[in-house]
């Protein structure tokens, strides 16, 4: 168990974040995925203003403070593809907080926001060797559409797609 409780909150969009906040997001992404992004790329991510920007932060802390003071423990960013489909750009939880149900909580919050905004399906890419994530998405009704070569720096990506269901797996 963690030494403090965490909660998922709606956060500013990357286009609205201060540089320090983006640097902190960049650091978390690097730690969780090994992927290196520039501040410019993060700032230009097409995150949906209605269902797409969640961060995992300590309870009792405001999102801006958590972003600026590097207290974020997870990120979920989503973009709109069309009126009924969203794409998860990134979902991650810091390693020391994994296995505590935080990803499931993020999924429930994201799913409700997306469905309230008219989305009915979701698509995403996952590293082919990320069995934990693959199982997580499969339990939520997503299926494999195909494989992308050279999608990630060092491995294949698996494209998954499925409905946003009212029930949680």
- In-domain check, residue 91: yes
Identify the sign of the CA torsion 165, 126, 119, 110: positive
Q: What is the CATH number of the domain that holds 52?
A: 3.40.630.30
Confidence of residue 2 (pLDDT cuts 50, 70, 90): very low
Percent of the chain scored above 90 by pLDDT? 75
Q: Where is pLDDT greater, at 95 or 34?
A: 95
Tens-place pLDDT, residues 3-54: 679 999 999 999 999 999 999 999 999 999 888 999 999 999 999 999 889 9
- In-domain check, residue 1: no
- Domain of residue 58, residue span: 6-119
Q: CA neighbours within 13 Å on the CB side: how many for 7?
A: 8
Identify the sign of the CA torsion 18, 69, 5, 88: positive
CB-based contacts of 56, cutoff 8 Å, min separation 6: 6, 7, 8, 72, 73, 74, 75, 93, 94, 97, 102, 106
24, two tokens: 């902190």
Q: What's the domain count of the chain?
A: 1
CB-CB contact of 68 with 27 (8 Å): no
- In-domain check, residue 41: yes
Q: Tokens 């269902």 appear where? A: 51
Q: Tokens 């997306």 appear where? A: 114
- In-domain check, residue 154: no
Model confidence, pTM: 0.89
- In-domain check, residue 24: yes
């Amino acid at each position: 168990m963690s030494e403090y409780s965490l909660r998922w909150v709606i956060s500013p969009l990357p286009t609205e974040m201060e540089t320090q906040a983006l640097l902190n997001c960049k650091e978390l992404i690097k730690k969780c995925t090994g992927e290196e992004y520039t501040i410019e790329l993060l700032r230009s991510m097409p995150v949906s203003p209605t269902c797409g920007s969640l961060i995992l932060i300590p309870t009792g802390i405001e999102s801006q403070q958590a972003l600026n003071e590097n207290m974020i423990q997870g990120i979920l960013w989503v973009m709109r593809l069309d009126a009924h489909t969203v794409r998860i750009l990134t979902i991650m939880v810091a390693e020391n907080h994994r296995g505590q149900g935080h990803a499931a909580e993020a999924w429930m919050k994201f799913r409700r926001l997306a469905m309230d905004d008219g989305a009915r399906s979701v698509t995403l890419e996952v590293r082919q060797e990320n069995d934990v994530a693959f199982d997580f998405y499969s339990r939520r009704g997503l299926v494999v559409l195909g494989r992308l070569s050279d999608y990630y720096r060092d491995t294949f990506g698996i494209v998954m797609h499925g409905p946003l269901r009212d029930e949680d797996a």
